[in-house]
Amino acid sequence: MNYRMEHDSLGELQVPANKYWGAQTQRSYQNFLIGSEKMPKEIIQAFAILKYASAVTNEKLKLLDQKRSSAIQKVCDEILHGDLDDHFPLVVWQTGSGTQSNMNLNEVIANRGNEILGENLLHPNDHVNRSQSSNDTFPTALHISALLSIQEKLLPALDGLKETLDTLAQDNMEVIKTGRTHLQDAVPLSLGQEISGWARMLEVSKEMILDSMEKIREIALGGTAVGTGLNAHKDFPQMVAQEISKKSGYSFVTAKNKFHALTSKDQLVFVHGAIKALACDLLKIANDIRLLASGPRCGIGEITIPANEPGSSIMPGKVNPTQAEALTMVCVQVMGNDAAISFAASQGNYELNVYMPLIAYNFLQSVNLLSDAMTSFNKNCAIGIRPNLPKIEENLKKSLMLVTALNPYIGYENAAKIAKKAHAENTSLKEACLSLKLLTEKEFDEIVDPKKMVHLDENQ
């Protein structure tokens, strides 16, 4: 491999000749051989957005000439198009401020910009990083990447799954089945009603995520090193927020208090908490589906799901609920990520949180995993859910909890006698009721009607 010499404040260093990064990136690349987790691409692209916006703003404030500003903007667009992905090699496990990733961007933009210009006009610190510090750029990149990834990945995947559940709920609203609480038989409901509860979970989760996202529209950029805004023009914070909004297509505003914006990560904890709530609901939905589909002969078996792969290397013909298993594993990972993010947000000293790369990695992993898992679950499982009508009817007829409809007519204790007698003697509720002479057959049939018990007219 061919090398060139680059330098920083610590001296000279060899850098691969075919890479645009400089000495500070190379030092980090060599000094942090920890794990395989790279700085997420979403962070790199968020940095490109803020570097672009900073160049535009500095030019408008006459802090950067048009030639240098245009070169920076051009390189940032190349980064956003994915043309320079190979030039961002740093791992998550580096300095907690993300300084080396900020410098990675600065160096790549400067070196590639100088190549475009045909002369060395751009300096990583003096021009690309003008009016900025790693301490305010990384928090800003965190907020930009979080909001964009939720808007462009998570919410569309959520909407797709909810649409499927809404359709399933409507299609199965007249299918009456036994309900279950505490894993025990309960009064009936319709399959559509049951599924509508799942759909509403996703609807509420989306509402909570959207509400929480308002908090991350505030960005730290302009606070520079400790929140005072040293070396930044007084109009830079508000102007750069406007430029970031234009470039990203989403609304961002300058943080009301830059000291808070640098040192606290409470807003990201809040948003990820809403994402964790979605994971909790998805885990419950996936578990319900795989339990209702259990069998095919010795389980509940009230619904069928698509058979995607053979389920066993030894048991012929076995098929497993693999999409539910994948989704539940993702949900558990998101809950673990939430614990890591929460602990990281509680750390850091004085004016800066120094766990930001970890927060970035875990937050974006949660969004990406949930987005992919919901899309996969929807495509390969949810859209193929169908009622197993004979099994539903069989279970409904066997349910002892249909006796609950008798409470207003014969009282709780008499109804309990019927249920206990039917269970002990393995007979039907009707047979037990007639044996106890509590109602006539006509009265029993009129009262114990599962269709009347689910109140479809009131709940649709």
Residue 366 scores a pLDDT above 60:
yes
Q: Report residue 43 CA to chain centroid gap.
A: 16
pLDDT for position 459:
58
Contact 302, 387 (CB under 8 A): yes
Asked if omega into 296 is within 30° of 0 (cis), the reply is yes
In this structure, the dihedral spanned by the alpha carbons of residues 223, 225, 230 and 231, taken in order and rounded to 10 degrees, is -100
What percentage of the chain reaches a pLDDT higher than 90? Answer: 98
Please determine whether the domains at 3-130 and 399-459 fall in the same fold group of CATH.
no
Q: What is the mean pLDDT of residues 390-415?
A: 98
End-to-end C-alpha distance for the chain, whole angstroms: 69
Query: What three-state secondary structure class fits 219?
Result: strand
Average predicted confidence (pLDDT) for the chain: 97
Max Cα distance, the chain (Å): 102
Instruction: Write out the two tokens for 212.
Output: 């929480």
Distance in angstroms (rounded) separating the CA atoms of residues 346 and 354: 10
Q: What is the per-residue pLDDT across 77-110, written as a single tens digit (0 to 9) for each?
A: 999 999 999 999 999 999 999 999 999 999 999 9
pLDDT for position 236:
98
Residue 260 scores a pLDDT above 90:
yes
Q: Which residue has the tokens 């990384």?
A: 138
Which architecture, in CATH terms, is 153-389?
A: Up-down Bundle (1.20)
Q: Which residue has the tokens 């007219």?
A: 457
Residue 394 scores a pLDDT above 90:
yes
Distance in angstroms (rounded) separating the CA atoms of residues 110 and 79: 13
> What number does CATH give the domain 399-459?
1.10.40.30
Distance in angstroms (rounded) separating the CA atoms of residues 429 and 415: 10
Q: How confident is the model at residue 421 (pLDDT cuts 50, 70, 90)?
A: very high
Residue 458 scores a pLDDT above 80:
no
Domain ranges of the chain: 3-130, 153-389, 399-459
Q: What is the mean pLDDT of residues 174-187?
A: 98
Distance in angstroms (rounded) separating the CA atoms of residues 39 and 455: 53
Contact 404, 411 (CB under 8 A): no
pLDDT for position 348:
86
- Options 7, 81, 251, 312, the catalytic residue: 312
Residue 92: other Cβ atoms inside 10 A: 22
245 is catalytic: no
HEC-encoded secondary structure of 46-77: HHHHHHHHHHHHHHHCCCCCHHHHHHHHHHHH
| Sign of torsion over alpha carbons 344, 346, 347, 349 | positive
In the chain, the amino acid numbered 101 is S
87 is catalytic: no
Q: What is the mean pLDDT of residues 309-327?
A: 95
Q: How confident is the model at residue 457 (pLDDT cuts 50, 70, 90)?
A: confident
Residue 425 scores a pLDDT above 60:
yes
Gyration radius of the chain over CA positions: 30
Q: How confident is the model at residue 146 (pLDDT cuts 50, 70, 90)?
A: very high
Instruction: Write out the two tokens for 335.
Output: 């809950």
Q: What is the mean pLDDT of residues 392-418?
A: 98
pLDDT for position 1:
86
3-130 classified as CATH 1.10.275.10: yes
What percentage of the chain reaches a pLDDT higher than 70? Answer: 99
In this structure, the dihedral spanned by the alpha carbons of residues 285, 290, 292 and 295, taken in order and rounded to 10 degrees, is 180
pLDDT for position 460:
54
Strand partners, 151: none
- Options 9, 36, 182, 313, the catalytic residue: 182
Distance in angstroms (rounded) separating the CA atoms of residues 197 and 166: 10
Q: What is the mean pLDDT of residues 407-416?
A: 98
Nearest to 47 by CA among 19, 88, 6: 88
